[in-house]
Amino acid sequence: MIYLIGVLLLLGVMFLPQYATRRILQKHAVPRPDFPGTGGEFARHLLERFSVDGVGVEQTNQGDHYDPSQKMVRLSPQYYEGKSLTSVV
């Protein structure tokens, strides 16, 4: 019985944060017309605002990431073109 409780606790610790994060991101993925720009524009704005020279922003289908070898921030289409809270976070 103690092993069953331990396994259930372990599964909860492993999967509950992932579930909660996905749920919150889905909740805030709704397009908002009051946002002045897209996620890609916001990324460029931050790079300019903090004087990060030589780093670009582009759209990719390989997931959101920074490529240090090419100095490129790559965003998935939903975040690059999106005007939701998840696009700018």
pLDDT in tens, 14-61: 999 999 999 998 999 899 889 889 999 999 999 999 999 999 999 999
Structural domain of 9? 2-87
Cα dihedral 87, 34, 27, 21, rounded to 10, equals: 40
The pLDDT score that the predictor gives to residue 88 is 85
- Between 46 and 1, the higher pLDDT residue: 46
pLDDT greater than 90 at residue 89:
no
- Please state the domain count of the chain: 1
Q: How confident is the model at residue 11 (pLDDT cuts 50, 70, 90)?
A: very high
The pLDDT score that the predictor gives to residue 35 is 87
pLDDT greater than 90 at residue 64:
yes
Q: What is the pTM of this model?
A: 0.76
